[in-house]
Chain A
């Protein structure tokens, strides 16, 4: 993965997830942050911090991004969600508009 194709997402606890930019664009909010014309720090450094999203949830979100890409390409699998994560994930997904 080349550096310019990747994005770094940082959780509340400081864990860093480096994922493909294409995957991150599944989220409308991240996509806006990375493509907005102004000089957001996010646009320049290709990293976004989410102080409200825990590591477990952010990991699940990243998995969803990749699953979503596969789904769009015709690989129709189920996306498993552990029941105990659902509430926090609902809120994170709502925030990220994904």
Chain B
């Protein structure tokens, strides 16, 4: 990540410097240059050496007067010898040793008395115990400390009270007792996920609290100053007594509440949270009867997640008119139908709407003398800021997608339905600002892809699960539009290649892709897809694709080349 912010020549130089052991030997003696190097460049160089497995303890010494940030997360070879060198880093500000399993108490001894260290992460270093904490508390400058899943006990946590500057503490999955916590008064951010804390004492300066997956009796109980908690995460928590759980702290400032997948049931409590901006109720017990409470605090709400709940279209209707600032709304995996879409169309600030895995089909069935089909998706045209729309609904068909083709601001559109064909792909080529288009599990054909003229703004085309497409068709599309990243079972990007996406090295990438494919067996997924269709249906599809292909071929015989 650090490297990407650098200019191109800097990046090329760092690559060249970290080419091999020999190239490292060519420059490691240039001590004066290394010492005078700006820290962000030294940090990036060290990071690259580490990622290329070229870093060893004595090489660290060359960086002791320049580097400020060291991230060795997940390195199994980092041990006390490495730490001896790191202890001499004069300007070290942040040290990440998470998942370095060889780190033990004596390795941490090297850090004693460091004067500029502000952030230490030793998460999941299981050999570190209370004795290691004794070494760390000698670093009075520490502000952020992450010791989740270590061998530290309640006694070790009590020691942390001497760290006067500590503001963020991650104690996830430690045997934290309620009394050990009361000694930590200055914290503003506390992460207690997966711990045994049940009654959180009053920490008056606390602003941010993570109690996910805990069993909660009460939060911030105690007399005196009330904490001004702004962010509370209780996802996956079990509440033993909800009425009491939130009784003791001032909820007026709470703007972020995540109670997803928890046993939280007291939605009447929501009425008091007037400052609420981010509310995650996904996977909770909420149903239409409690939506009223959400509507009553909707004035400042920007993000509302109701996915995997029992909320139906009538629940969504209650929200209309009460959520003027709502930007993100998720209703995925809920029983909402097309009637909810017209309600969503009346929430004026929406930018992101997620309706993944609902029974929405794009049409409202009107009963009457003559049954009538009315498009529900046209209601979304009134949302002028809509940028991202997820309609991965298995009931969507080509006729419904036709109504999506005129969205002006849409950047991301996600569709997933076995009823979609080349016609949908054709409709969507007129979206003016689309960057990321997903059409998954559809019956797209080679000729459909060939005649598809992607909008100039398109960056990612996700066609996973479109099992009729052949490798040749996808490669030829990729050749015609090298700047578009195509995702399909036939194309495999390593994470590295995906990261350097849109860099002009397409020819090289394409050849790599080619090599990869030869080794790849056909995935199980395809076989499943084919079983869904009978021989007759397959033949019909084949016929359909060729009959569809010809009119498109005529209208734009020459696929438009991407101008670079």
Pick the contact of B22 from A83, A88, A90, A97 — CB < 8 Å?
A83
**21 A-B pairs with C-beta separation under 8 A:** A64-B9, A82-B26, A83-B24, A83-B26, A83-B27, A84-B26, A86-B13, A86-B14, A86-B16, A87-B13, A87-B30, A87-B37, A88-B30, A88-B33, A90-B13, A90-B41, A94-B7, A94-B38, A97-B7, A98-B7, A98-B9
Closest 3 CB pairs of A and B: A83-B23, A93-B9, A83-B26
The B contact surface, by secondary structure, is: helix
Find out whether the CB atom of B34 lies under 8 angstroms from the CB atom of A90: no
List the A side residues contacting B12 at CB < 8 Å.
Answer: 79, 81
The A contact surface, by secondary structure, is: helix
Pick the contact of A90 from B45, B504, B507 — CB < 8 Å?
B45
| Docked pose: A84 CA to B33 CA in angstroms | 11
Find out whether the CB atom of A89 lies under 8 angstroms from the CB atom of B26: no
Decide yes or no whether B152 CB sits under 8 A from chain A. no
| Docked pose: A94 CA to B13 CA in angstroms | 11
| Docked pose: A96 CA to B9 CA in angstroms | 10
| Docked pose: A71 CA to B504 CA in angstroms | 9
Bin the interface of chain B by size.
20 to 34
**Which A residues contact B (CB, under 8 angstroms)?**
61, 64, 68, 71, 74, 76, 79, 81-84, 86-91, 93-94, 96-98
Chain A residue nearest in CB terms to B507: A76
| Docked pose: A83 CA to B19 CA in angstroms | 8
Decide yes or no whether B52 CB sits under 8 A from chain A. no
Given A84-B26, A87-B17, A94-B6: 14 more A-B contacts, CB < 8 Å: A71-B504, A76-B504, A76-B507, A86-B23, A89-B13, A90-B10, A90-B14, A90-B37, A90-B45, A91-B36, A91-B37, A94-B7, A94-B10, A98-B7
List the A side residues contacting B13 at CB < 8 Å.
Answer: 81, 86-87, 89-90, 93
Within 8 A of A (CB), among B462-516: 504-505, 507
Pick the contact of B10 from A76, A82, A83, A93 — CB < 8 Å?
A93
How many A-B residue pairs lie within 8 Å, measured between CB atoms?
A: 68
List the B side residues contacting A79 at CB < 8 Å.
Answer: 12
List the A side residues contacting B41 at CB < 8 Å.
Answer: 90-91, 94
Cβ contacts B13-55/A at 8 Å (1 or 0 each) = 1101101001110110010011011100100010000000000
List the A side residues contacting B24 at CB < 8 Å.
Answer: 83
Find out whether the CB atom of B17 lies under 8 angstroms from the CB atom of A93: no
| Docked pose: A87 CA to B6 CA in angstroms | 14
Find out whether the CB atom of B8 lies under 8 angstroms from the CB atom of A83: no
List the B side residues contacting A81 at CB < 8 Å.
Answer: 12-13, 16
Chain A residue nearest in CB terms to B504: A76
| Docked pose: A82 CA to B34 CA in angstroms | 17
List the B side residues contacting A89 at CB < 8 Å.
Answer: 9, 13
List the B side residues contacting A88 at CB < 8 Å.
Answer: 30, 33
Q: How far is the CB of A20 from chain B (nearest CB, A)?
A: 18
